[in-house]
Amino acid sequence: MRYFALFLVLCGCVSLGEPLVRIQNVSPNVDLDIRYATDNNFTGKKVYPAAVCGLRKSVADRLAAVAREFEAMGYQLKVYDCYRPLSVQKRFWALVPDERYVANPAKGSRHNRGAAVDVTLVDKSGKELEMPSAYDDFSEKAHRDYTGATPMALRNKEILEKVMIHHGFVGLPTEWWHFDAQGWEKYPIEDIPLEDIR
């Protein structure tokens, strides 16, 4: 029985520890634009069967606090991606085998652990704020240290980053939209179907 339980964990059939939850159930005001559930992404194809933002419960709680702070500032948080099944990570790596932008599935991604988010800001009318690049831009324009954007885009990026850091998230150097939750390494890599997250 013990070996069977270990097999279930290793195959990604069950998760140990903190569960994955839907952000909508923790913070209903977060705006979802799950790009990989559409064809509006770098693959040009729909790769998620459902527009689900799954996160570890404590990570979802942190993101809810981020959303509340932005609401007080007159903004709304928009989420592009959250938990990503390992099987999808393998597909992404086959398309873009560059660790600056796509995690090697042999090591696993922070997204595969339910401890990373891709986010931006929108105004009260739902319009995205100007940022240095589009989402999933695989160029230096997406890098956090890129200074060639407009002053407004740089200001918006700084606002996003400051609040995310305040609530325990760390930005990826090559993607202004990507933030890892501190403590991500304690969570196992998963391949749980998105539809199974409640």
Which sequence positions are flagged as catalytic?
175
Tell me how far apart the alpha carbons of residues 128 and 120 are, in angstroms, rounded to a whole number: 7
Continuous segment of H or E residues that includes residue 153: helix 151-166
- φ, ψ for residue 45 (rounded to 5)? -135, 155
The tokens for 179 are 């933030």
Q: What is the CA radius of gyration of the chain?
A: 16
Distance of CA 72 to the CA centre of its chain: 22
Closest CA to 66 of 57, 76, 56, 58: 76
Cα dist from 6 to 14, 105, 197, whole Å: 10, 21, 21
Tell me how far apart the alpha carbons of residues 1 and 4 are, in angstroms, rounded to a whole number: 5
